[in-house]
Chains A and B, each alone.
Chain A
Amino acid sequence: MTRLTCPFCGPRELREFEFHKTLPEPGSTPYARVYERVNRLDDSLEHWQHVQGCRGWLLVRRNPSSGAVLETVILGGGAQ
C-alpha cells in the first residue's frame, strides 16, 4: 500500500483521499450502475476524491490484494 499520487497535488498520504465507489461495468442498467460492485481481486477501477487537498475527483486503478496503486487520472476539466 503506497501513497496515492494526485495528478495535481503530487504524492500524498492515503488518509487525505476518500473512496467513493468501484466503477460499474460500462453500459449496465441504472440499477446495476448504482447497486452492483465489480470486485476484481487485483485490478480495481475506482472513483476517489482528494478531500484534504485540491478536492479534485480521481480515477484510480488499484490492486486491492496487494494494496498497490497502479494509476491515477484527474477527472475534472475535460482532461480524459
Chain B
Amino acid sequence: MMAVTQISGNGIELVERPIGRVLEFVAFHFPPEGAFVVGWPAAPGAVRHDTLGGPGLLHFAPARWLAPSPCAEIAALVAAAEEAAGTCVDVTGKWREFALGGPRAGRVLASAVNVEAVLEGRECAAITMFDCPCILVRVTDGYRIWVRSSFATDFIAAVQSLRLPA
C-alpha cells in the first residue's frame, strides 16, 4: 500500500501513509518498572524514534505503547519487554496513519482541540478529534496522526468540510 494524498489545497496537506504491522505493548505496571525500561520512552507522552527517524514507539496511554510498522530494533525491544514486564498485542488494522502538513495544519487541528495544551510537555497524546479517537504526534513538517480505522473515512471528511477563514 503506498501513500495516498487525501487533501491538498489552501494550506493543508493530508496524506494517508502506508502502515504495516502494528503492535501495542502493555506493561503490567504503571509507572513502568524493571530492566526493560532502559531504552524505552517511559515518561507519559514520550516517543522513541525509529531508525528512519519517524516516531517508532509512542507511550500514548498508561503503560501502553504503540509500535506502528516497528523497525527490527524496536520489534526486538518489544519482544524483550514481553518476557518480563507485560504483553504485546498485534493490533494490525486497528489504526490508520496520516501525515498532516502545510502552513495551516495547526489551524486544522485547532478546529477540534487546543493542540498546544494537549501536546504541552509531551511528544505524543491520545486525544479525540472531530469525535474520532486519535494519537497525535508533532513532527518537523507538521503532525503525524493515527486514527482508529473505522473512524478514518469520517476523519478525512471532517477535515475536508472545515471552513477556515483567511
Partners in one complex: yes
**Residue positions of A touching B, CB distance < 8 A:** 7-13, 16, 52-56, 74, 76-79
- Report B-chain residues with C-beta under 8 Å of the C-beta of A12: 117-118
Interface residue B41 (Cβ < 8 Å from any Cβ of A):
no
Distance (Å) between the CB of A3 and the closest chain B CB?
9
- Most interface-central of A7, A8, A74 (chain B CB within 10 A): A8
Contact yes or no, B44 A9, CB < 8 A: yes
A13 and B115 CA atoms in complex are apart in Å by: 12
- Report A-chain residues with C-beta under 8 Å of the C-beta of B121: 10
A22 and B127 CA atoms in complex are apart in Å by: 25
A-B contact count (CB 8 A): 61
Contact yes or no, A77 B27, CB < 8 A: yes
- Check A55/B126 contact, CB under 8 A, given A74-B30, A77-B63: yes
Contact yes or no, A55 B61, CB < 8 A: yes
**Residue positions of B touching A, CB distance < 8 A:** 27-31, 44-45, 60-64, 114, 117-118, 120-122, 125-128, 133
Q: Which secondary structure dominates chain A's binding surface?
A: loop
- Report A-chain residues with C-beta under 8 Å of the C-beta of B122: 9-10
Kindly identify which residue among A10, A16, A52, A54 contacts B62, using a CB–CB cutoff of 8 Å: A54
- Report B-chain residues with C-beta under 8 Å of the C-beta of A13: 114
